[in-house]
Structure 1
Amino acid sequence: MIQLQKPLPIAFLFLPLLKLMAESLLFSSAESLLGKLASAALQEASLAFGVNRDLELMKETMTFIRGVLLDAEKKNSQSSALKEWLIQVKCVFSDAEDIVDDFECEALRKHTVNTYGSCSRKVCRFFSSSNPVVYRLRMAHHIQDINIRLTKLASQRSMFSLQIIDQDTRVVHVREMTHSHVNPSNVIGREHDKQEIIKLLVQGDHGQSLSIIPIVGMGGLGKTTLAKLVFNDPIIHACFPLRMWVCVTNEFELRNVLIKILNSVPNPTRENFNNFEIEQLQILLRNTLEGYKSLLVLDDVWNEDPARWDELREIIDIGVEGSKILVTTRSQKVAAIMHTKSSKSYLLGCLSEKDSLSLFMKYAFEDGDEMKHPQLLKIGKEIVKKCGGLPLAVKTVGSSLFLMVDEREWESVRDNEIWNLKQNVKGILPALKLSYDQLPSYLKPCFASLSLYQKDIYFYSSQVCMLWGGLGFLPPPKASESMANVATQLLHELWSRSFLSEYEDFGGDCRFKLHDLVFDLAIYIAKGEFDIIHPNPNLYKNAHHLLFMNDNLLDQALLPSSLRIFIFTGGPSNENFLNTLVSRCKFLRILILDWSEYVSLPRFIGKLKHLRFLSLWNNENLMEVPDSVCKLQNLQTLNLEGCIKLQKLPKGLANLVSLRYLGITTIEPTFPEKEVASLTSLEDLRFCRCDNLESLFKGIQLHTLKGLSLQDCKSLKMVSFHAIKNLEVLVIAQCNKLELSMGLSNEILDSRLKLLILRGLPSLATLPRWLQGSANSLQSLVIEECMNLEELPDWLPTLNCLQQLVVRYCPNLLSLPDNIHHVTNLKVINVTGSSELWKRYRPRVGQDWHKISHVNLVCYDESENEKEFS
């Protein structure tokens, strides 16, 4: 469900304990950098500055080094010398990336001058650069220095006997091959899941000869154990005369899979199939299956190639009605490829806290001994909560505490991350690491960066898009795509591989959580590059990414000049330090100064030409942002929301040619609309506490804008909705004077709106008719704290794409439309705080429950957690 509280600033989502990117991400960095070196834009810039030969040499040497990185990362723990070599490779690659980005900045500067300079000398002066000859010589010197370092590192690689692996096709065979036996007494909390899957297996198939049922879930949930329970159940024995168990793991080569299946069939002659050709194997397998209703379990499937699966299915499907294949996989994509129309995937959930505790006691205590140690049991309950319902985590932690009776040992486990426990190959970290190792290179840094967020919070694709954009992780969008679309696609891929939980797509934005153990994995992967500041300066002198709570803790002289991310989470502000930061750290990509007390920013901030993300959220003392900010052509995110004393916006916003997100709070009565209208990359525009603004968007068009948020703008009366043709997300909150008809009267627009949030609008009595224009696009409609809302219109069912309807804290809304049952795609209705609606539509007992019985009804009880009812 949507959290309808005000969104937190991104800085508040960052952890107070940050770790660094380990060498395991070095191959991904190399891939990204080599891609930039091969780009047409960089080739053109290198020719213009006469350094193309030097850059070509850099690319060749980097390619040479990249070839052994995967092998080096595998052997890293075996040699301190190799570890040091990888650290040096990482440093030189980082410096090379700064050089490449510098060329990109220069190319963008020239483009801006060429675009605007012909009509304005001021623009030329505004973007004046240092002497081109001096710049060329300086860059050539830097490139030559990097090439010398690269050549030395390349010559040293022979010292470590490294193999060349050009493709990131790492396959980790840590997991043991599985088998079909399991002791049911060792399994707790899966009886319901077992019965549900048995039902799916034994039910009729409507004439279909073969159906597939995937069990899907993250590593450590017990998918294999559950499949074993089902496989050995007497009902399954009676229903399927022929049963086969195959552990597929990372292999899906047809010949090997056929051999494994044949080896799983009772074979009195113990024939060796390894010498058979594929044609012989498929004939033998089809003859074996003929006439038998069979169950085949394919455990731990990773293959995402539909062609390979179709090839196997054609051999297995011999026309025996009722035959089934049960698949276990961590990938939603695998499940989508394999399941048939008559079947559906079974999404395996976590254990309840009660079952988790029972499982924990089984592994942590001798039978009955838990009653002898009530204090240990109390601590154990807290440990179990941290395991998040994952059976493998519960068993691993419980086993590590077996026969220990010292309370301090238990408290140490409770207060430490799970990977700090003594682990073996069966531990939770290796189980999750298997999933991580299957990620393609471009997803690995994206996943690792999620370690920046807090545990146990929802976060949104719009926030992640800004972060990944600032870090340079997002590939360029294709035609008609936005950067938000690109980020959402990457998030969806992570979700399909079970790395994200509670994933919900609202249209235009999505939200999700990280399971605690997945979050722990992200921190484990990311360690080495992100640091919190402590008084000991040695902890950050080589850091690239810093977060700290007090800028007085930093010794300015030791501030690393290579810093990429700097985050200050609020409190008294040291202006001298900020001046040093901006002047010294010229390679900053992300600068977050949320909740700080700065009155102004250094005027030379415009020299941070690499900066992509600048957030000043809720700087309530800030009175001025220098115009030089508009020199930052690489800037993608500029957040000035909550800067309530800001006298004026910086001049020259039109020059921010890369800007995608703009958040504004201003006391000015007007808004530089024409400048903003010229921003051809702008996707998300937010106004917050702009108390003197009365109207927006007269006489302009915002063709690229996908998201618009209007919050707490007390004087705003009119918004020209015509100006935003491609809007997908619209938020209107606490804008009491705003004319909700948007100047459209009863006109119905052909709109692309996917998500609409209306909050705190006392004038809202019913929905405006223009919303009908979103009939073929709107997925989520959220109405909150609209005290005078009395009805929802009868035309609501025309919103045929609507999946989620939220009407929270709307006490005067007494009923839903009588034809609400015609909203056939509706999945969830949330009536939190709307007591009359809850009474009327409460499941099974409400007088009108039958009208919405096809959806989940959600109501929030203040004394409990949010509940869902089906």
Structure 2
Amino acid sequence: MAESVLFSVAESFIIKLASRVVDEAALALGVYDDLRRIKDTSSLIKAVLLDAEQKQWQNNELREWLRQIKCVFSDAEDVIDDFECEALQMQVVNTSGSIRRKVRHYFSSSNPLAYRLKMAHQIKDINERLTKVAADRHNFGLQTNYSDTRVVQNRELTHSHINDSDVIGRKHDKRKIIDLLLQDGDDRSLSVIPIVGMGGMGKTTLAKSVYNDKRLCQAFQKMMWVCVSRDFELNHLVVKILNSASDSSPNIFQHENFQNFDIEQLKNHLRNTLADQKFLLVLDDVWNENRVKWEELNDLIQVCAKGSKFLVTTRSHKTADVMSTNTSHILEGLSQNDSLSVFVKWAFKEGEDKKHPELMEVGKDIVQKCGGLPLAIRTLGSSLFLKFDIEEWKFVKDSEIWNLPQQDDGILPAIKLSYDQLPSYLKRCFACFSLFEKGIFYTHLHVSGFWDALGFLPTPRKGESSGDIAKLLLHELWSRSFLQEFVDAGGGCGFELHDLVHGLALYVARDDFQLLNFQCENIRANVRHLSVPENDMLGQISIPTGLRSIVFPEEANNKPFLDTCLSRCKYLRLLQISDSRYKNLPRSIGKLKHLRCLNLLANRQLERLPDSVCKLQNLQTLNLYGCENLQKLPNGIGNLIILKELYITTKQSNFPKELANLSSLEFLAFSYCDNLMFSFDGIQFPKLKVLSFVSCGNLKSLPFHIISNIECLLIEDCKMVILSKGDDNNQIPNLKLKLLSFNSMPQMVTFPQWFQGCANTLHSLVIVDCENLEELPNWFSTAISLKNISILNCPKLLSLPEDLHHLKNLECLEMKGCPELYRRYQTKFGQDWYKISHIKVVVVELEV
């Protein structure tokens, strides 16, 4: 519930009140004393919120009081944000003089009496409302607590690769499924093997353990994995299969896209891809019970070779019956002993359980309540990691949440208990996942833009970026087992959401966040964050004026809805319109002065942006990735002085020099900019951490003076770019690079020497489709921080550096599609296997 995050809301609001900009604006308006009283009153309320959160479920009046507080804080935040917006706008208009003089000047002359009176009235109104609700706190006997002491104990990050040691109690299930997959297929039809079990039973984990087994890699020519969930529409499903079939890159920032293909093109492409191929296709989390839809897909891929198989995971026995050509494999709960083993693995460091027999006794009772569900056991174990107070363990064991009806939105009591133990600041970040899709791989960049726009991120310390904070919070959520498939590549990280975790996000966020369902339910009265999944819904809903964020559906084309949205929702912080059919956006978008994130990802028909976009001085993220027909950037882009993330796809060749004004940029990506000739001369981005170039056909040189400060460099399909510096001074000392990714770079024969400057910082190296690369430099053996190396489709690469065994921190080495490397380093059989056998995770395969 939203009331469980109010402590964090109050805390961030008080910090905002203490900012210099707000102080100066308050003095200019003559409401300084009122704001001081608001801050003091907010502190009194904040002190009792943690206790109120715990007690609200037994007291309806207390719950109503918390709702009133939420409304007041929300309105107050809008008023204070208005101060910041106006002050920031003046900072652009007049760059000389102090902020105080700018604010006074703007309020007194540019927009005089009306604005001053309006803001003063709103401040006094907020003050009165807060004073009233603060007085009511005495009615509930609440205890004061000025800090949230619930902390997340971070465990060491492990790899997402499934190891048999991670899959406890499933050896028999795995052996049985592999035997079925290796059996000769029926000549007349594809063989379908369903794994059936309730949510949280570990179907996906088991399927991944099977999928990664080397016997299957040798038996099937093509391996594909698709998360289906509730979307079994043929065109969407074919796109997912094609992406899986063609995805040879571990690059967490890019993914091939077939969205602009029509259904006939998709079908032909899929037939050509699978023709005469013996494949294994895993369809994970299938809900479809319509036999006609299944037969459409089945008929489409009958071009495959004999012996091809489907492996399906589903909660539904009816789904299994509709699709199956084999008896379903029913996945049962873990035994008590196996359940306890899973719990100990996640609740203790190795061997620590033996030091705490009294905790283990309580732990046995907790495990019993989990009913053999691995997700429930793992999540609760993670929530108790490094907690040795027996009272905390007893609280979990005796919680009333275990009595929560299982049919209530499918929420497992165990993961609801784990959520309740999260710190307040993490709870509202977690609530955002209710607007995300399950089964999709997200990066920290997507999440950080979301969280930052809504003001959910804690204040960064000196030298930290919002992306750094987002990565830290995602790591905390992973350590509590709320995220899966977690990948940390040093400069970036990514994850997926388990369907039950997504269900929990929908449940706990239901007051403020709403993902409309396909029956087009009514929008709830107090919703602040809305996601609309289908274009047909846009003409059927009425938009609340208090929205802070809205996510449009793909293929949106309803212009009246867009106009209404921009005119009514003046407090929007986040606007996401991805893959739409709009050719332009209304000029009125420039009036959304509170907007922090404008995500226009993959709007292929978008031709221009109104210059009024550059009036959005609060904008922190502008995403134009995949806007292939965008003619140019809007005039005045240099006015976006606090922009942190900028993704550019445009036909423009020479970019405006005013980009140099974007001194707050942390992430800069150029994609499909075929005309890019921008030299970056004289431009510095002092805070830039990530720089990416994808499919920029005319880019010839890199901005070396910028690279010296960044942490992540990605270059893909830029065939004209010259990586070498071309002078005697071929090194850049003290590079800070943590992630290097090169993809589709046929011109790269040797690794540029100047990269040696990052030997002390490099965390992850990704090299894909560099068909002429012949060697890696020997200095790699001095890369003391290197943890991950992925080398795919580099057929001329003959060997690894000799002293690779010196890299004690190297944890994951992946080599695929490199015949000579396969011969030399093949697991257990290669002549040089002994040189890499010490690495925790080694994947060496002949084919990608």
Do both proteins adopt the same fold according to a TM-score greater than 0.5, normalized to the shorter chain?
A: yes
Matching residue of 1:701: 684
Matching residue of 2:445: 462
Question: Is structure 2 residue 429 aligned with structure 1 residue 449?
Answer: no
- Separation in 2, partners of 1:631, 1:795: 48
- Separation in 2, partners of 1:624, 1:668: 11
CA pair 447-743 structure 1, distance change in 2 beyond 3 A: farther
2:5 alignment partner AA? L
2:145 to 160, 166, 170: 166
For structure 2, the residue ranges without an aligned partner over 5 or more in a row are: 99-103, 152-166, 172-199, 203-284, 286-323, 344-365, 374-400
Matching residue of 1:115: 95
Q: What's the offset of the Cα at 1:783?
A: 0.3
CA pair 67-395 structure 1, distance change in 2 beyond 3 A: closer
Aligned partners of 2:435 and 2:531 also within 8 Å = no
CA pair 398-510 structure 1, distance change in 2 beyond 3 A: closer
Matching residue of 1:677: 660
Aligned partners of 1:533 and 1:554 also within 8 Å = no
Question: Is structure 2 residue 63 aligned with structure 1 residue 77?
Answer: no
Question: Is structure 2 residue 50 aligned with structure 1 residue 66?
Answer: no
SS of 2:426 mapped into structure 1: helix
Aligned partners of 1:642 and 1:665 also within 8 Å = yes
- Separation in 1, partners of 2:603, 2:10: 38
Residues 205-264 of structure 1 deviation map (CA, whole Å, 9 limit, x = unaligned): xxxxxxxxxxxxxxx999xxxxxxxxxxxxxxxxxxxxxxxxxxxxxxxxxxxxxxxxxx
SS of 1:859 mapped into structure 2: strand
Return 835-844 or 772-781, whichever deviates more: 835-844
Matching residue of 2:804: 820
2:526 alignment partner AA? N
- Separation in 1, partners of 2:462, 2:651: 37
Q: What's the offset of the Cα at 1:574?
A: 1.2
CA pair 129-620 structure 1, distance change in 2 beyond 3 A: farther
SS of 2:94 mapped into structure 1: helix
1:691 to 662, 674, 696: 674
Q: What's the offset of the Cα at 1:503?
A: 4.3
Q: What's the offset of the Cα at 1:521?
A: 4.2
Q: What's the offset of the Cα at 1:721?
A: 1.2
Matching residue of 2:182: none
CA pair 557-69 structure 1, distance change in 2 beyond 3 A: same
Matching residue of 2:331: 381
Residues 140-183 of structure 1 deviation map (CA, whole Å, 9 limit, x = unaligned): 22223333433443454455x341423345789xxxxxxxxxxx
Q: What's the offset of the Cα at 1:529?
A: 1.4
CA pair 127-734 structure 1, distance change in 2 beyond 3 A: farther
Q: What's the offset of the Cα at 1:654?
A: 1.4
- Separation in 1, partners of 2:55, 2:790: 53
Task: After TM superposition, list the pairs within 5 Å mapping 1:528-677 onto structure 2.
Answer: 528-533=511-516, 538-554=522-538, 558-672=542-656, 674-677=657-660
- Separation in 2, partners of 1:456, 1:699: 43
Question: Is structure 2 residue 801 aligned with structure 1 residue 851?
Answer: no
2:9 to 9, 22, 29: 29
Q: RMSD of the TM alignment (CA)? A: 4.0
Residues 756-786 of structure 1 deviation map (CA, whole Å, 9 limit, x = unaligned): 1000111112211111121121121110011
Aligned partners of 1:653 and 1:676 also within 8 Å = yes
2:112 alignment partner AA? P
Return 587-596 or 542-551, whichever deviates more: 542-551
Aligned partners of 1:721 and 1:743 also within 8 Å = no
Residues 502-550 of structure 1 deviation map (CA, whole Å, 9 limit, x = unaligned): 5443222233445555555444433321112356563244311111134
Aligned partners of 2:595 and 2:616 also within 8 Å = yes
Q: What's the offset of the Cα at 1:68?
A: 3.5
Q: What's the offset of the Cα at 1:456?
A: 4.1
- Separation in 1, partners of 2:779, 2:18: 54
Matching residue of 1:17: none
Aligned partners of 1:171 and 1:437 also within 8 Å = no
Which structure is higher in RCO with an 8 Å CA cutoff and minimum separation 6? 1
For structure 1, the residue ranges without an aligned partner over 5 or more in a row are: 1-20, 119-123, 173-187, 193-219, 223-352, 354-373, 400-417
Residues 450-483 of structure 1 deviation map (CA, whole Å, 9 limit, x = unaligned): 4443334443333322222111122333333322
1:487 to 447, 465, 470: 470
Residues 279-304 of structure 1 deviation map (CA, whole Å, 9 limit, x = unaligned): xxxxxxxxxxxxxxxxxxxxxxxxxx
SS of 1:70 mapped into structure 2: helix
CA pair 557-512 structure 1, distance change in 2 beyond 3 A: closer
1:94 alignment partner AA? S
Aligned partners of 1:591 and 1:611 also within 8 Å = yes
- Separation in 1, partners of 2:36, 2:418: 36
CA pair 434-692 structure 1, distance change in 2 beyond 3 A: same
How many residues align? The count is 625
Question: Is structure 2 residue 499 aligned with structure 1 residue 511?
Answer: no
Larger Rg: 1
2:84 alignment partner AA? E
- Separation in 1, partners of 2:605, 2:109: 33
2:741 alignment partner AA? I
SS of 1:538 mapped into structure 2: coil
Question: Is structure 2 residue 116 aligned with structure 1 residue 136?
Answer: yes
Q: What's the offset of the Cα at 1:718?
A: 1.8
SS of 2:84 mapped into structure 1: helix
CA pair 578-420 structure 1, distance change in 2 beyond 3 A: farther
- Separation in 2, partners of 1:157, 1:481: 37
- Separation in 1, partners of 2:603, 2:11: 38
Residues 544-594 of structure 1 deviation map (CA, whole Å, 9 limit, x = unaligned): 111113455246883111100110131141112111111111110110001
Q: What's the offset of the Cα at 1:621?
A: 0.9
1:114 alignment partner AA? N
- Separation in 2, partners of 1:94, 1:117: 32
Matching residue of 2:693: 710
CA pair 474-428 structure 1, distance change in 2 beyond 3 A: closer
CA pair 134-813 structure 1, distance change in 2 beyond 3 A: same
CA pair 669-536 structure 1, distance change in 2 beyond 3 A: closer
Q: What's the offset of the Cα at 1:98?
A: 0.6
2:54 alignment partner AA? K
CA pair 796-136 structure 1, distance change in 2 beyond 3 A: same
Q: What's the offset of the Cα at 1:50?
A: 0.9
Aligned partners of 1:37 and 1:55 also within 8 Å = yes
- Separation in 1, partners of 2:419, 2:515: 25
CA pair 443-854 structure 1, distance change in 2 beyond 3 A: same
Aligned partners of 2:4 and 2:53 also within 8 Å = yes
Residues 359-383 of structure 1 deviation map (CA, whole Å, 9 limit, x = unaligned): xxxxxxxxxxxxxxx9999485399
CA pair 117-611 structure 1, distance change in 2 beyond 3 A: farther
SS of 1:622 mapped into structure 2: coil
CA pair 630-860 structure 1, distance change in 2 beyond 3 A: farther
Aligned partners of 2:51 and 2:145 also within 8 Å = no
- Separation in 1, partners of 2:689, 2:150: 40
Q: What's the offset of the Cα at 1:744?
A: 5.2
Q: What's the offset of the Cα at 1:801?
A: 2.6
- Separation in 2, partners of 1:716, 1:71: 58
Matching residue of 1:12: none
Normalising to structure 2: TM-score of the pair?
0.67
SS of 1:719 mapped into structure 2: coil
SS of 1:762 mapped into structure 2: coil
1:422 alignment partner AA? P
CA pair 823-737 structure 1, distance change in 2 beyond 3 A: same
SS of 1:650 mapped into structure 2: coil
